Amino acid sequence: MIVVENGHVVTVGGDEYPAGHVVIDGDRIVAVGPGAAPPGEYSERIDAGGCLVTPGLVNTHHHLYQWATQGFVPDGTLFEWLTGLYDIWAGMDAEVVADAAAAGLAWLALSGCTTTTDHHYVFPRGRGDLFAAEVAAARRIGLRFHPCRGSMDRGRSQGGLPPDEVVEDTEAALLATEAAIDAYHDPAPGSMLRVAVAPCSPFSVTEKLMTEAAALARRRGVRLHTHLAETLDEDEHCRAQFGCTPGEYMERLGWLGDDVWFAHCVHLDDADIARFAATGTGTAHCPSSNGRLGAGIARVAELLAAGAPVGLGVDGAASSELTPLAGELRQALLFQRARSGPRALTARQALELGTLGGARCLGRQDEIGTLAPGKLADLAIWRLGGFHAAVADPVTALVFGPTPPLARLLVAGRTVVADGELRTAPQDAVAAGGVRARDRLLGGRP
Ligand SMILES: [Zn+2]
């Protein structure tokens, strides 16, 4: 058993203990409380003095392969950015994905993430098993992983945005998605890997693929994910192609429910928010990416007030370069306040978005997202000494300030980060792999 003691423990959704303890047995938490831990046979004592102890952060939207294409189309809208990058992404292979994913996952771990999704939707033919490559990277870095098998089947010749070379045949995409579920999805309690079904977006996917993807996910008992209502361009595209808003389109396709979470949802109207709340449909809020692409500010405060699940996401690194997940706590808070005033979101609400809110989006609120006996031992222990200690309240320091270093990051009771460094793989080699991925993908391009 491991004991974490002397830290400021924030359980999220429950109590806070200014000098508390957490006891871990195997991959589970067995005790959380104030003061010293009960006497026992502990294999390790982690002194969290001067530290804030929180549930590990949950990242609800990402495209790990994009680590290889950071910094491109720096001033473009979403559609300009996508159009500028599709041709580059078409050159991706399994080696690029392996290296880019490892770097992206390590970066997440270093900012307090213990569970992450990934949404991979570009599968050029004959380039190796890209999905297997990212699964292997997640096992290497040691994060709990919810990869979403994405797909696109609506190229330019059918009125879609992506070039025809990067889209798949509808049936082939569905078969490959089911094969990924067969190969990797683990529904057992404590699972380290669950697969979701995730056609890319209304403007790159046919109605047939959207409908059959939902049927597949429900037949196999897995979750559904896609991009939705990210920009006004998408809104216009939806109205022109389908005669309705993106939210109405999802309702028509049977894509609302407590087994669905959408990325972005920036442009929701009041009826959409009511639909999301009534059905338990989740939102992955990605404020840095929305800011970078000038997409707008999601109505997070209204979604929360209505009772809809909301988590945080960094989105792919190509639209939010080097974004630390803990930094999204701050971005979410500042965006809501800039839009709706200083009481729109509190520091503790922001922390809840990044933990329990994300767990709800992934359907794992019974296992992760809070610190309580019986829950999985996914913990972030933030070092708030030095300059950070000048802020009286540690949650305020974490959310309002820059991302502090981690004293420790535990996933299922296993150390992934210690003293601000990755411990599951050589950090410098993983970082170098991220550069190698870019060089391999870009080849001779300027
Ligand atoms: Zn995205």
Centre of ligand 1 to C-alpha 9, Å, is 32
Centre of ligand 1 to C-alpha 104, Å, is 14
Residue 82 CB neighbours (<10 A) = 22
Q: Are residues 98 and 145 in the same domain?
A: yes
- Would you say residue 181 lies in a domain? yes
Q: Angle 214-215-220 (CA atoms, 0-180°, nearest 5)? A: 100
Report the CATH number at residue 407.
Answer: 2.30.40.10
Q: Are residues 141 and 230 in the same domain?
A: yes
Q: Angle 72-73-76 (CA atoms, 0-180°, nearest 5)? A: 150
- Would you say residue 334 lies in a domain? yes
Centre of ligand 1 to C-alpha 390, Å, is 36
- Would you say residue 434 lies in a domain? no
Domain count along the chain: 2
Residue 305 CB neighbours (<10 A) = 12
Centre of ligand 1 to C-alpha 284, Å, is 9
The identity of residue 386, as a single letter, is G
Q: Are residues 67 and 45 in the same domain?
A: no
Q: Angle 385-390-394 (CA atoms, 0-180°, nearest 5)? A: 65
* pTM of this structure: 0.98
Centre of ligand 1 to C-alpha 287, Å, is 12
Centre of ligand 1 to C-alpha 323, Å, is 14
Report the CATH number at residue 235.
Answer: 3.20.20.140
First-to-last alpha carbon distance for the chain, in angstroms, is: 53
Q: Which of 248, 251, 246, 252 is nearest to 229 (CA)?
A: 246
- Would you say residue 168 lies in a domain? yes
Q: Are residues 327 and 249 in the same domain?
A: yes
Centre of ligand 1 to C-alpha 365, Å, is 23
Partners of 421 in the β-ladder: 418
Which residue is listed with tokens 């959408």? 262
* Domain, as residue range, for 226: 57-361
Centre of ligand 1 to C-alpha 335, Å, is 19
Centre of ligand 1 to C-alpha 193, Å, is 20
DSSP for 233-292, written as a single string: HHHHHHHHHHSS-HHHHHHHTT--STTEEEEE--S--HHHHHHHHHHT-EEEE-HHHHHH
Q: Are residues 175 and 269 in the same domain?
A: yes
Q: Are residues 138 and 22 in the same domain?
A: no
Distance in angstroms (rounded) separating the CA atoms of residues 108 and 169:
33
- Would you say residue 42 lies in a domain? yes
The predicted pLDDT at position 445 comes to 72
Task: Please report which helix (H) or strand (E) contains residue 62, including its range.
Answer: none
Q: Are residues 30 and 172 in the same domain?
A: no
Q: Are residues 403 and 321 in the same domain?
A: no
The identity of residue 220, as a single letter, is R
Q: Are residues 74 and 41 in the same domain?
A: no
For 302, list phi and psi in degrees, rounded to 5.
-70, -40
Centre of ligand 1 to C-alpha 271, Å, is 24
Task: Please report which helix (H) or strand (E) contains residue 248, including its range.
Answer: helix 246-252
Q: What is the mean pLDDT of each run of 10 residues along the chain (446 residues)?
A: 98 95 98 95 96 98 98 95 94 97 98 98 94 98 98 92 92 98 98 98 93 98 97 90 92 97 97 97 98 97 98 97 97 98 98 98 98 98 95 97 97 98 98 98 79
Centre of ligand 1 to C-alpha 148, Å, is 11
Q: Which two tokens mark 281?
A: 């449909």
Q: Are residues 288 and 415 in the same domain?
A: no
